[in-house]
Structure 1
Amino acid sequence: MPSRSSARLAALTVAAVCGAASTVVLTSPAHADSVRVHDIQGTTRISPLAGQKVTDVPGIVTGLRGYGSSKGFWLQDPTPDDDPATSEGVFVFTSSAPKVAVGDSVTVTGTVSEYVPGGAATGNQSVTEITKPTVTTLSTGNAVPAPVRINARSVPSRYTPAGDTAAAGSVNGLTLRPRRYALDYYESLEGMNVQVSDARVITGTDPYTELWVTVKPHEHRTARGGTLYGSYTSQNTGRLQIQSLGATADFPQANVGDTLKGSTTGPMDYNQFGGYTLVASELGTLKSGGLQRETTRKQSSRELAVATYNVENLDPSDATFDQHAAAIVHNLSSPDIVSLEEIQDDNGATDDGTVDAGKTVNKLIDAIVAAGGPTYEWRSINPVNDQDGGEPGGNIRQVFLFNPERVSFTDRAGGDSTTAVGVTKVHGKAQLTASPGRVAPGDTAWANSRKPLAGEFVFRGRTVFVIANHLNSKGGDQGLTAQYQPPTRSSEVQRHAQAALVNAFVKDILSAQKNANVIALGDMNDFDFSDTAKILEGDGALWSAIKSLPKSERYTYDYQGNQQVLDQILVSPAIRRGGDFAYDSVHINSEFHDQISDHDPQVLRFRP
């Protein structure tokens, strides 16, 4: 069940959250008589009565939440005012299972509070609540107020106003303009009974029994039924999270492109993981869109196929080895070189000093062989224990797999976890001082983060330099629905410094050999339009090859209804100018509820 204090990791995304949930009392306690729900909600995100006691607030119970740590019920006034900015619904926090029923006409006496899901440090908006309630039931079996229908016409095309600079960029004090801004519109419905109809799924069901739909079926639609996140200034306003109000056993196991046919109805909530959420007391019927996992073509004898694949904290105890192996062999057509991200050490999250990952990698290689693939060889460098971030004790790192029947690895001694790999010029050609080696591992940019792994490969007599990356995550960034607009992307600072180091290393190679074949690839944890990508590309040292795809196909990850690029393969001018390359974002995970990783692998085929 979703709960007030759900503990989980935010993937990556757009924003991870931190801190404990908190209630913010904004004014000194006072007494306010004869108020209604719309008086409590007011015309801004913060109640004008926050901190005050209210007496005998009337309304109809529209929904109950008897699970998790946010137990209570939603109360809605059946006699609304004529101001579209004031919500007619509010959550009554009872702290224990509520003793009312849907359809009860009640009055509530209590204190108005502003509850911030996840705590104030997250930057999240707050939920207006009545706390410490005394509830009086007047009658039962009343009709619930008709739901507000949310659709393409009702949701504005503009996402949010800019925050008040005098309030550190917060939108909390701004008067809601629900006909102008989508987030203002959703806020004006906070706590009210709402409904969506025939809504297309744009993020499949996750392990927390929630999915995302769009009420704007034509808004930035991708080729396979999702919604593309194409820029910071081009938000997808039709996105809405769906949870179940009550038992989740029958919650639909949906993929992108499926549809919740009919009506999905329930109170409008705001939570820590995703913001505005329809908590459904009535769920539409799932209609499959028939989405299938993709398969990329096999490389020709003269093409080198290079792939990147984040296998999501893989360790020997996982049950996904056969599935990952099948994906590499069948969906990726056995690339010649595979950069794996998030390979954990041999005992996973057990934090006992183990750093070797031989058991993990060899178990995957054996599974690949069993699936009919090649007997890959591998190269990597163990990290210093607990110094590369990720799950504590897991010691995640990048690993090169390569098919020795197609490509050879140039081993050159000297690479270890703390020694920086360099570039020399030998007989007019660039050469790494160590292969494999790590790029600037001592630089503070890599503090508590994965260091890039560099290696030299030879294909048909030509050297190809490959740099495997897993840049700093987006953990700590504010969410798209934060009270601060635009939200702060604090994680960028470290990622930009990392991107600059990778770019500088590529330039070192190109300075030694202008026409060198260089590939920097991996989980860059940032978008193709981001400043991180621009820094990686620099002044032409690299180019993100995913930009060769049509825009509707440029995504590797699906987060909160936004399909986006996190994984990239960047190439040097010699590869790009050659023009004889093909790029494929192979959608096998991000769109599916039964994903084995949250990332889609990427494949580049070219002729060195």
Structure 2
Amino acid sequence: MTSSHLPKPAAVPAVIALALAAGLLAGGTATATADGGADAAPVRIHDIQGATRISPLNGQQVTGVTGIVTGVRTYGSRGFWFQDPSPDADPATSEGLFVFTSSVPKVAVGDAVEVSGTVTEYVPGGAGSGNQSLTQLTKPAVTVVSSGNAVPEAVAVTSRSVPDRYTPDGDPAAGGSVNALPLRPRRYALDYYESLEGVNVKVGTSRVVGATDPYHELWVTVKPDENDNRRGGTVYGSYRDQNTGRLQIQSLVPVAEQPFPKANVGDRLTGTTEGPLDFNQFGGYTLAARTLGAVQDRGLQREVTRKQRTGELAVATYNVENLDPTDPQEKFDALAKAVVANLSSPDILALEEIQDDNGAKNDGTVTAGETVRRFTEAVKAAGGPAYDWRSVDPVDDADGGEPGGNIRQVFLFNPARVSFTDRGAGDATTATGVVRERGGAALTHSPGRIDPANSAWEASRKPLAGEFAFRGRTVFVIANHFGSKGGDESLVSHRQPPNRSSEVKRLAQAQAVNAFVKDVLAVQRSADVVVLGDINDFEFSATTKALTDGRALRAAVTSLPRSERYSYVYQGNSQVLDQILTSPSIRDFDYDSVHINAEFAAQDSDHDPQVLRFRP
């Protein structure tokens, strides 16, 4: 909500000058009342926006608020933005405002309008989401004074204008909220964006850091050197370093009228992209483009990892995103081709999100034999090995995920290279344990589940443990799919730092897996243990710290340069969710996060697979 960012108009168009003289655009007749009655105080847009995130006029009726229409949205949250062409001198008060009409607005860009309505703080996603609010006018009465006026010159959002610090800490007395804190747009990035809420802004040629998604939006950065990597992304490296240059881009033109461009990470959005700065549930501050730049393809290629050597065991993890027999054969074929061509047919492959044999149909089915059969057949058809497999069927609707889907982890293994040691296969509720056998560690159930009665796994996937043999050496593999981040507040939450409530469950899950690994190592200190899967947490998180507690495990991703540590891209941040961790006996290994999905508009899954090669 800023106005000092706004350029002073060199000349006022004649039609606006007439309106100013009539008191229609200078706020001379605009008023605010708590009860809808008359009031003498004139009200302009910057008075409504105020110098904090919450309008000082929240809940009040205002009349005669004037400005120029800068953007019209005819779909979704229908309404329009308008802006005062004569800004004040306060950098914390915005000169733009959204008017929620609910139906298609009867205004056009360039209209000079006079608006009456109720000042409202709308929280996208609801109050429970923790999101900041969008200041807007609701139940509006709109009068078009004139048309064809020049739109206020756009504020350029650049690497120099966006502060490097992301946000202030919230007020402890207000539960950690920043809502009542005075905006400091020259010091904090979120304050800067908030000071431009509803204002006509623009970005120049910018690098794409979040590929076009199914909802017709992408992410760019206005800071080319901010935690960048060789493939074009912006890497997320800590809770205090949120990559301030990221900005979501949407289009105000319906897709049916103008298809939204397809872009991959590293591409360029060239030229000028201009429109009002919005705030929404899934991206926070978003440039709602009235004018959209063109995408320049930079030729990003999907990675191919090398083939394991004769004495190397290749172990991989891949989240295949709710795979089940109702998916088209094309999805099976694409995933299988990636296993063969991009992952070079690993010896052991842990799959996450394998659904049951009828997918989301909620009829009690828990078997996944048909899902796995179609996948392994597709791998053979792609020129890969004839994988065998092991898993444990879950209790119906007890493991979270899509209702009726019964997602679980599955081990695939190439019997020409590695063998599986079957030991009294456990069921969904039976815990596998560790015993001493012939001087070494062994599982009581293989495949088996780790501590399935532990409350940490309530409505969540239980870890799948298996015992493998490679060239006479036993290798224990534990496949995981920890609890999701659902319920966490976003990076742009009004609470700072945001509440990461989902971390509690993952922390308990990590502690359970760590305890099991310690049980194995207590029996055989030299045991080779590989813990892998969709951990749903960062390499610097409390979850990873709990997994590695007591040096029972090492997070292999930390062997990579910081700029290469990612398996997932969310809101323009390239970040770690999928991991492989190793016991102390696995000293030398080659680790690869194989980037084939997360950076691309066309995805077979939303995760990148991980591969570890070592000599047991």
Q: Which bin holds the TM-score, normalised by the shorter protein?
A: over 0.9
In 1, the alpha carbon distance for the partners of 2:385 and 2:376 equals: 8
In 2, the alpha carbon distance for the partners of 1:109 and 1:426 equals: 80
Kindly indicate whether the alpha-carbon contact (under 8 Å) linking 2:336 and 2:378 is maintained by their aligned counterparts in 1.
yes
The SS at the match of 1:390 is: coil
Please tell me whether residue 510 in structure 1 is matched to residue 521 in structure 2.
yes
In the alignment, what sits opposite 2:132? 125
Write the mapping of 1:79-94 to structure 2, written as runs, cut at 5 A.
79-94=86-101
Matched letter for residue 427 of structure 2: D
Write the mapping of 1:189-588 to structure 2, written as runs, cut at 5 A.
189-248=196-255, 249-319=258-328, 320-576=331-587, 579=588, 581-588=589-596
The SS at the match of 2:271 is: strand
Show CA shifts across 1:344-366 (max 9, x none): 00110000000000000010000
Show CA shifts across 1:405-459 (max 9, x none): 0000000114110001000011210000010000001111000000000000000
Select the residue among 158, 163, 166 that pairs with 2:170. 163
Show CA shifts across 1:177-222 (max 9, x none): 0000000000000001000010110010000001100000000001
In the alignment, what sits opposite 1:6? none
In 2, the alpha carbon distance for the partners of 1:361 and 1:598 equals: 20
Residues 267 and 514 of structure 1, relative CA distance in 2, 3 Å threshold: same
Matched letter for residue 410 of structure 2: V
Select the residue among 41, 52, 73 that pairs with 1:65. 73
In the alignment, what sits opposite 1:137? 144
Matched letter for residue 371 of structure 2: T
In the alignment, what sits opposite 1:153? 160
Residues 29 and 182 of structure 1, relative CA distance in 2, 3 Å threshold: farther
Out of 154-163 and 27-36, give the one that drifted further: 27-36
Matched letter for residue 292 of structure 1: Q
Kindly indicate whether the alpha-carbon contact (under 8 Å) linking 1:309 and 1:522 is maintained by their aligned counterparts in 2.
yes
TM-score by length of 2: 0.93
In 2, the alpha carbon distance for the partners of 1:258 and 1:437 equals: 45
The SS at the match of 2:159 is: coil
In 2, the alpha carbon distance for the partners of 1:152 and 1:414 equals: 57
> What's the RMSD between the two structures over aligned residues?
0.9
In 2, the alpha carbon distance for the partners of 1:494 and 1:286 equals: 41
The SS at the match of 1:309 is: strand
Matched letter for residue 318 of structure 2: Y
In the alignment, what sits opposite 2:21? none
In 2, the alpha carbon distance for the partners of 1:569 and 1:546 equals: 7
Show CA shifts across 1:28-85 (max 9, x none): 64665420000000000000001111110010001111112x2111010000001110
In 2, the alpha carbon distance for the partners of 1:147 and 1:71 equals: 22
Matched letter for residue 441 of structure 2: A
Write the mapping of 1:170-189 to structure 2, written as runs, cut at 5 A.
170-189=177-196
In the alignment, what sits opposite 2:3? none
Residues 453 and 54 of structure 1, relative CA distance in 2, 3 Å threshold: same
Matched letter for residue 352 of structure 2: E
In 1, the alpha carbon distance for the partners of 2:60 and 2:196 equals: 22
How many Å apart are 1:250 and its aligned residue?
1.8
Kindly indicate whether the alpha-carbon contact (under 8 Å) linking 1:29 and 1:51 is maintained by their aligned counterparts in 2.
no
In 2, the alpha carbon distance for the partners of 1:202 and 1:356 equals: 39
In 1, the alpha carbon distance for the partners of 2:34 and 2:540 equals: 46
Matched letter for residue 588 of structure 1: I
In 2, the alpha carbon distance for the partners of 1:261 and 1:95 equals: 33
Matched letter for residue 306 of structure 2: R
In 2, the alpha carbon distance for the partners of 1:143 and 1:514 equals: 75
The SS at the match of 1:574 is: coil
Write the mapping of 1:35-54 to structure 2, written as runs, cut at 5 A.
35-54=43-62
Write the mapping of 1:93-132 to structure 2, written as runs, cut at 5 A.
93-132=100-139
Kindly indicate whether the alpha-carbon contact (under 8 Å) linking 2:34 and 2:61 is maintained by their aligned counterparts in 1.
no
In 1, the alpha carbon distance for the partners of 2:550 and 2:186 equals: 43
Show CA shifts across 1:461-513 (max 9, x none): 00000000000000000000010000000001111000000000000000000
Residues 417 and 72 of structure 1, relative CA distance in 2, 3 Å threshold: same
How many Å apart are 1:575 and its aligned residue?
0.3
Kindly indicate whether the alpha-carbon contact (under 8 Å) linking 1:87 and 1:191 is maintained by their aligned counterparts in 2.
yes
How many residue pairs end up in the alignment?
578
In the alignment, what sits opposite 2:22? none
Kindly indicate whether the alpha-carbon contact (under 8 Å) linking 1:30 and 1:51 is maintained by their aligned counterparts in 2.
no
Kindly indicate whether the alpha-carbon contact (under 8 Å) linking 2:535 and 2:579 is maintained by their aligned counterparts in 1.
yes
The SS at the match of 1:482 is: coil
In 2, the alpha carbon distance for the partners of 1:30 and 1:600 equals: 56
Residue segments in structure 1 that go unaligned for 5+ positions in a row: 1-26
In 2, the alpha carbon distance for the partners of 1:336 and 1:286 equals: 40
- Off by >6 Å, runs of 4+ in structure 1: none
How many Å apart are 1:384 and its aligned residue?
0.2
Residue segments in structure 2 that go unaligned for 5+ positions in a row: 1-32
The SS at the match of 2:585 is: helix
Matched letter for residue 136 of structure 1: T
Matched letter for residue 310 of structure 1: N
Out of 582-591 and 241-250, give the one that drifted further: 241-250
Kindly indicate whether the alpha-carbon contact (under 8 Å) linking 2:75 and 2:254 is maintained by their aligned counterparts in 1.
no
Please tell me whether residue 593 in structure 1 is matched to residue 604 in structure 2.
no
Q: Greater relative contact order (Cα 8 A, min sep 6): structure 1 or 2?
A: 1
In 1, the alpha carbon distance for the partners of 2:484 and 2:253 equals: 33
In 2, the alpha carbon distance for the partners of 1:573 and 1:55 equals: 70
Show CA shifts across 1:95-125 (max 9, x none): 1111111100011011111000010000000
Matched letter for residue 114 of structure 2: T
Show CA shifts across 1:355-384 (max 9, x none): 000000010000000000000000000000
How many Å apart are 1:397 and its aligned residue?
0.1
In 2, the alpha carbon distance for the partners of 1:583 and 1:66 equals: 48
In the alignment, what sits opposite 2:12? none
The SS at the match of 1:171 is: coil
How many Å apart are 1:289 and its aligned residue?
1.2
How many Å apart are 1:233 and its aligned residue?
1.1
In the alignment, what sits opposite 1:15? none
In 2, the alpha carbon distance for the partners of 1:281 and 1:250 equals: 14
The SS at the match of 2:515 is: helix
In the alignment, what sits opposite 2:19? none
Matched letter for residue 435 of structure 1: S
In 2, the alpha carbon distance for the partners of 1:478 and 1:233 equals: 15
The SS at the match of 1:575 is: coil
The SS at the match of 1:573 is: coil
Kindly indicate whether the alpha-carbon contact (under 8 Å) linking 1:315 and 1:360 is maintained by their aligned counterparts in 2.
yes
Paired-residue identity, % = 69
Kindly indicate whether the alpha-carbon contact (under 8 Å) linking 2:424 and 2:445 is maintained by their aligned counterparts in 1.
yes
The SS at the match of 1:322 is: helix
